[in-house]
Amino acid sequence: MQDVLSMTYLWLKAGHIIFVIFWMAGLFMLPRFFVYHQEAPQGSAEDAVWTDRENKLLKIILLPSIIAVWLLGLALAGSIGALQQGWFHAKLLLVLLLSGYHGYLSAYAKKLARGERLLTGKKLRLLNEVPGIAAAIIVVLVVVKPF
């Protein structure tokens, strides 16, 4: 029985890490797409291509990934008893913030598709740093478990 539980934990962990990588890759790509999209003339064929790319990234990679990250992550946390640990609460807060960031990017993609270009290229490049900083802190929390 212990072997089955060990294997289940390892599969949950592997799946969680795989989908975190997919999710993070998408969160890094989307703001970069926005930078290029905003440089395209409004109403042009290039504008339409960027809108299509952003929609595909959101629907094919980001949405399934965030769902899998949450489901596998919560199952993994429950399987190791992390739900009562301080490091997990901090990680959960950061993942909630990253999920909000994901939602913000999704909303901005819709605005760009409508021709609303509210952010500068510089601000979009700065937004591109958010997932990297969050990921670094999350990895430290999970590996070091400082509290």
Give the annotated binding-site residues for heme.
Answer: 16, 91
In the 3-class helix/strand/coil scheme, how is the chain assigned residue by residue? CHHHHHHHHHHHHHHHHHHHHHHHHHHHHHHHHHHHHHHCCCCCHHHHHHHHHHHHHHHHHHHHHHHHHHHHHHHHHHHHCHHHCHHHHHHHHHHHHHHHHHHHHHHHHHHHHCCCCCCCHHHHHHHCCHHHHHHHHHHHHHHHCCC
Which residues does the annotation place in the binding site?
A: 16, 91
